[in-house]
Amino acid sequence: MRVAIVHYWLLKMRGGEKVVEELCDMYPEADIYTLFYDSEQVSDTIRAHTVHTSFLQPFRRHYRSLLPLMPLALESFDLRGYDLIISSESGPAKGVLVLPGTRHVCYCHTPMRYLWDLYHSYRNKWISAGIKRTGLTVLSNYMRMWDYAASARVDDFVANSENVRQRIWRVYRRESTVIYPPVDVEAFHWRQPEDHFLLVSELVAHKRIETAVLAFRQSGRKLRIVGDGPEFGALRRLSSPNIEFCGRVAPDVLRDLYARCRALILPGEEDFGIVAVEAMSSGKPVIALGRGGALETVPVNSPFGGLFYNEATAASLLDALKLFDQVEHLVTPRLLQDHVKQFGRSVFRSRFSDLIAGEPATCTASPIFTNSSQSIDHAGAVNQYS
């Protein structure tokens, strides 16, 4: 079986690229097709495969502004001769053209945020940056129509969480199977916590990093932030000396940062939230905005995996931090590490292989329904600990 893996762009190693990496291990002879590629920024596993880029590759430094040309670039890929196409998408990757008889499975991290659920937030930001309202509205409308039409080219949708499964149905009216992304849960370790918290994220607006910066600036608690992105400069200007920006770090350094923190801060709504699972793999709890994928991964009972807060504000996060001081002793690292085994690489491989073989890929975790039964008080913390 000849396999092609299509990913929107390979310019950094984030959650979506880790899924591609796992697929590369599962299909060692697969070719990769991507709009933009930087070989120095991806893993050896991805580099070992043949990577085909689009005609937009020479302009990869400006990839964020090339959205209008991406449909044309994706449709120019010649995928004749392949038996299976696996698209990995939170961008437009599923829009490739596939011959009849070739199966197309889309692993969807989320429908494109800037066209759908976060459209108005991005629109206001773009307009304030000088992009004309009329042109932006017309372009976005065209891209939404193309994106919806492209969803009909997919034979099987796979969602990376129940949260995203519901989003796929709302946007595309397509059913999907939930298969959680692979996390190398065995690679992490626990150390005695030091007096600091950790935040690991791409520094973009929808991650709500500024709420964490404001909360920690006000409280004086120590916070380390790992990651970079377009919001880096603004966040640095907003911060205070107790907040350390680490930038991008090597995997072994990140594992050590997880191991030595008191808890992970997750201030934005995540589609799934691999960093939350990595933190719990290190035996560390998570303090998260009570929305999205965190509700599926972070347990609030047994084991105690952390706290949720209701509002995406610094005040709500501050209330959760104060409550965490009182309940931190409930954390049992070994139980957290046992809990996250359901998100391990072997589980992903088994479920994805079953789906490709035509068997139902069932999700045995009891995520969103477990935690949604726990009410959250006005301060943003679980009632049973207030």
| Confidence class for position 133, pLDDT limits 50, 70, 90 | low
pTM of the model: 0.85
DSSP lists the bridge partners of residue 225 as: 199, 245
Average pLDDT, the chain: 89
> Taking 50 as the threshold, does the pLDDT of residue 374 lie above it?
no
**CA-to-CA distance for 287 and 265, rounded, in angstroms?**
5
> Taking 50 as the threshold, does the pLDDT of residue 276 lie above it?
yes
pLDDT digits (tens, 9 = 90+) for 94-119: 999 999 999 999 999 999 876 767 66
Q: Measured in whole angstroms, how far is the alpha carbon of residue 26 from the centre of its chain?
A: 21
User: Which pLDDT score is estimated for 120?
Assistant: 62
List the domain boundaries for the chain. 3-178, 185-341+367-385
Q: In a 10 Å sphere around its CB, with 0-12 CB exposed, 13-18 middle and 19+ buried, how is residue 160 labelled?
A: buried
**3-178 and 185-341+367-385: same fold?**
yes
Q: Averaged over 289-298, what is the pLDDT?
A: 95
User: Which pLDDT score is estimated for 216?
Assistant: 98
Range in 53-62, 128-137, 280-289 the model is least confident about: 128-137
Residue 198 near residue 224 (C-beta atoms within 8 A): yes
pLDDT digits (tens, 9 = 90+) for 337-348: 999 999 999 999
Main-chain dihedrals φ then ψ at residue 236, nearest 5 degrees: -60, -40
> Taking 70 as the threshold, does the pLDDT of residue 144 lie above it?
yes
Residue 323 near residue 307 (C-beta atoms within 8 A): yes
The domain defined by 3-178 folds into Rossmann fold (3.40.50)
Q: Which residues contact 119 (CB under 8 A, 6 or more apart)?
A: 140
- Helix (H) / strand (E) containing 25: helix 15-26
Q: Cis (ω within 30 of 0) for the bond into 68?
A: no
- The edge-to-edge listing of strands for the beta sheet with 286-289 is 243-247, 223-226, 197-200, 264-266, 286-289, 306-309
Compute CA distances 45 → 13, 17, 49, 108, whole Å: 12, 11, 7, 21
Tokens of 62: 């400006």
The domain defined by 185-341+367-385 folds into Rossmann fold (3.40.50)
pLDDT digits (tens, 9 = 90+) for 7-29: 999 998 888 899 999 999 999 99
Range in 31-35, 110-114, 299-303, 370-374 the model is least confident about: 370-374
**CA-to-CA distance for 309 and 331, rounded, in angstroms?**
18
Q: Is the dihedral of CA 123, 129, 135, 140 positive or negative?
A: negative
User: Which pLDDT score is estimated for 378?
Assistant: 37
pLDDT digits (tens, 9 = 90+) for 319-342: 999 999 999 999 999 999 999 999
| Confidence class for position 140, pLDDT limits 50, 70, 90 | confident
Tokens of 191: 């150390």
Tokens of 229: 């992105």
Residue 142 near residue 148 (C-beta atoms within 8 A): no
User: Which pLDDT score is estimated for 143?
Assistant: 87
> Taking 80 as the threshold, does the pLDDT of residue 307 lie above it?
yes
**CA-to-CA distance for 318 and 380, rounded, in angstroms?**
9
